[in-house]
Amino acid sequence: MLRISLDIDDTVLQWRTAHELKFNCKINKTDPNLITLQVNSLKRNRDFWENLQLLEKPDFTPTVWCTKRVNPKTYTNNCFKKVGLPIRPIIQFYNQSDNKAYGLVGKADVLIDDSWFNVKQCLDAGFPALLITRPHNKKIRTKYRVDHLSYDEIEQKYNELF
């Protein structure tokens, strides 16, 4: 079985919409430094992190979750329980520029992420990663893409590319 790591925000949970409503802004038109400040201001906002909506439920149990969230993992697990996602280990980075590949080596075979930045970082480091199609990344042209959190689709793309 392929050991799959899933990103959380905008891969399985609807973070972008919640953030835009909270701060009355559009992510793609907001300065990344401001987004970092906004996210840091939510660090201890239990209500925000525990009430994110499910975007897509995978048809498999990931080996690990991998995220650049700054909130306590208990908030994430509480949200997972509410929306019916499995509780699995969470590898958490606190710096947006950190490469997820370095936390996943030996723990997963592939990362599925909605951020082309994260996918490209992993690929550049020699770690397999695939971009999950979401509205904000549809214009990115890459062969490293899956459209659904389907084990069969991910395994097929992994075998084709890696």
**What's the total number of domains in the chain?**
1
**pLDDT band at 30, cuts 50/70/90?**
low
Q: Cβ contacts of residue 74 below 8 Å, gap of 6+?
A: none
Amino acid at 141: R
Domain extent for 44: 4-161
**Distances 19 to 13, 79, 93, 132, 145 between C-alpha atoms, Å:** 12, 16, 19, 20, 25
Query: How many Cβ atoms from other residues are within 10 Å of residue 28's Cβ?
Result: 8
Query: Helix 15-23 crosses helix 32-41 at what angle (to 10 degrees)?
Result: 90
Q: Which tens digit of pLDDT belongs to each residue from 62-116?
A: 999 999 988 999 999 999 999 999 999 999 988 778 899 999 999 999 999 999 9
pLDDT higher than threshold 90 for residue 140: yes
pTM of the model: 0.95
Q: What is the CATH number of the domain that holds 57?
A: 3.40.50.1000
